Amino acid sequence: MLNKESNKNEYQVSKEVKDTFDNLLSDTNIKTALEFIKADHDHTLNEQKDICAISAPTFQEQKRAEDYLKRFTDLGLEDTRIDAIGNVLGFVSGSGNGPKLVVAAHLDTVFSEGTDTKVIEKDGIFHAPGIADDTRGLVEVLGIIRALKKSNVQPLGDIVFCGNVGEEGLGDLIGTKQLFSDHQDIDGFISIDGTGVGSITYLATGSHRYQVTFSCSGGHSYGNFGLPSAIHAAGRAISRIADLRPPKEPKTTFTVGTIKGGTSVNAIAAKAEMLIDIRSNGEEELLKLEAEILASIKAAADEEKAHWNSDQVTFDIKLLGDRPAGSQSPEEPLVQAAYAAGKLLEINSQLSSPGSTDANIPISLGIPAIAIGRGGVSGEIHTKNEWFDPKDAFLGPQKAFLTILSLVGVNGVSTPLLKKSKVDGSKE
């Protein structure tokens, strides 16, 4: 909730959330766990270097997944396995009838097979493609599991730990989609993914990505002049799309990101292909803009046919990516919990702008979900010059650990802030 007395922009948590964290911080086992996470810092960094060195392009995460599965198993998680799509899963059963919370980080990186991902350390800074995104998230999950095991903390609700596939690019969140298709009883979701340990992403930017291919017979630019051109049809479509005016609020955007086609400067193009990215913070606006763009493509093909009095122009539209938009209240207990945990650790917690993360899927389903920033400082993400500064990086897993416990509850210490779903899918 917002404090309307002192500062309208100052975020405040409820009394229930404050009382929950007071109870957590008064427990000896939880204090021990927080101390352990700090002491475990160097071990976690070594894991980060080891996992980063295992190449994991989107759709090629298997080697990293197998390594991660072994780490889950060695830590004593229950029912460890790799599911049908490639997600790595491990469970901690709660001691009471509490909610079920998923804590995830993604296995895949944006870098192609063969990219050298070995970590080079220079002046205390780690350098390697993928060293932060999301290798750091993966090892923070492992650190949290170790802290649970070492401290004898007994959660009331169930915790599902997950290394998921398909978060980046055309992975289209396939891992998280599979997770929520397979498990209908999930009550909350946390993704450890993002730059800035205090960031809390609770709004979902949706996106649709399309591959559009125009085709016709083609021919010689002089000898067959008068035939339609696939490139000209694509150009007509781009011109129409470029003239569209999406709303500024909620932020809604589009771009024709790439275009290719044709065979020679003196040939009428038989084929042209373009990739289109459409995004919005509102699902309704996303669908409206999508409809306008698809109509522009059809109109462009019709216009090219009419111009040359020909019926040879065809087009094929293929959906490559579908990330749903969604929103939830900033007063959602899960959001408040993450904010409160950061504040207690003297982290500059902040509610971030809408983003496209694994949390999109549960948010779109009406399930409380957030993506929270990793510990440490990182930069040049998604480039081969990616770097990670590990100073005070233990604050990341400490924050996530406290957030998790506040949500699932701790036996003899606190009740869950996260509401458990009823059988009919509504919240208790």
3-state SS of the chain? Answer: CECCCCCCCCECCCHHHHHHHHHHHCCHHHHHHHHHHHHCHHHHHHHHHHHHCCCCECCCCHHHHHHHHHHHHHCCCEEEEECCCCCEEEEECCCCCCCEEEEEEECCECCCCCCCCCCEEECCEEECCCCCCCHHHHHHHHHHHHHHHHHCCCECCEEEEEEECCCCHHHCCHHHHHHHHHCCCCCEEEEECCCCCCEEECCECEEEEEEEEEECCCEECCCCECECCHHHHHHHHHHHHHCCCCCCCCCEEEEEEEEEECCCCCEECCEEEEEEEEEECCHHHHHHHHHHHHHHHHHHHHHHHHHHCCCCCEEEEEEEEEECCECCCCCCHHHHHHHHHHHHCCCCCEECCCECCCCHHHHHCCCCEEEECCCCEEECCCCCCCEEECCCCCHHHHHHHHHHHHHHCECCCECCCCCCECCCCCEC
Contact 233, 304 (CB under 8 A): yes
Query: The domain 15-204+326-408: what is its CATH number?
Result: 3.40.630.10
Q: What are phi and psi of 188, to 5 degrees?
A: -165, 160
pLDDT, the chain, mean? 95
Inform me whether the pLDDT recorded for 107 exceeds 90: yes
Reading the block at residue 241, the tokens are 């799309």
Contact 386, 380 (CB under 8 A): yes
CATH topology for 206-323? Alpha-Beta Plaits (3.30.70)
Q: Residues 360-396: pLDDT tens digits? A: 999 999 999 999 999 999 999 999 999 999 999 999 9
Confidence band, pLDDT 50/70/90 cuts, at residue 96: confident
Report the percent of the chain where pLDDT is more than 70.
Answer: 96
d(CA 335, CA 13): 9
What value does the mean pLDDT take over residues 228-247? Answer: 98
Place of tokens 């408040």: 336
Integer CA distances (angstroms), 261 to 254, 274, 275, 280, 293, in order: 21, 9, 12, 29, 20
Report the percent of the chain where pLDDT is more than 90.
Answer: 94
Which pTM does this prediction carry? 0.91
Domain ranges of the chain: 15-204+326-408, 206-323
Inform me whether the pLDDT recorded for 424 exceeds 70: no
Confidence band, pLDDT 50/70/90 cuts, at residue 427: low
Lowest average pLDDT, out of 7-21, 82-96, 185-199, 245-259, goes to: 7-21
Q: Residues 342-354: pLDDT tens digits? A: 999 999 999 999 9
Pairing between strand 199-201 and 369-372? antiparallel
Q: Residues 149-184: pLDDT tens digits? A: 999 899 999 999 999 999 999 999 999 999 999 999
d(CA 230, CA 174): 32
Is 206-323 in the same CATH topology as 15-204+326-408? no
